[in-house]
Amino acid sequence: MPPIHDANLTLRFFGDDLDPEYLTERLGCPPDDFSVKGDTATSESGATSVSATGRWLLRASDLYANDIEMQIAELLDTVTDDLTVWHDVTTRYQADMVVGLFMQAGNESFTLSPGAVGALAVRGLALHFDIYDHGITG
């Protein structure tokens, strides 16, 4: 079974009362994207949308395109390792790490080590998988 073709990870926080400045201060780094509930945004096509809830997003770089463990390590190395802070922010807001998986064939795989799973679990982070199989047409 070949390894997963491409993957991208994002650390995400959501909440109706999400305070991006608070999260940035507590986690020790700025997000790549954020909004508060009710913010309006205009897309390139001119469509306007309103944020249904607040969000704070930190994306892994493209440096490790198909290495999920390295992307997890990169993201966790970017933010605080203080577990008291993690308990605070994951109790206050919905938090997860989304893993976008992009397959070229119908059967690709990856494995997460106990260390990677444990690093997420101890911080109170769920894993969310979005899986795209580009090998299927139709």
Share of the chain above pLDDT 90, in %: 56
In a domain, 67, yes or no: yes
Confidence label for 1 from pLDDT (cuts 50, 70 and 90)? low
Tell whether the model's pLDDT for residue 70 goes beyond 70: yes
d(CA 16, CA 40): 15
pLDDT (0 to 100) of residue 100: 78
Residue 36 CB coordination number (10 Å): 17
pTM of the model: 0.86
Predicted pLDDT at 8: 81
Domain count of the fold of the chain: 1
Look at residue 138 and tell me whether its pLDDT is greater than 50. no
Do the domain assignments include residue 138? no
C-alpha 102/C-alpha 4 separation (Å) is: 7
For 50, the domain range is 6-133
Is the pLDDT confidence value at 91 over 90?
yes
Q: Domain for residue 66, yes or no? A: yes
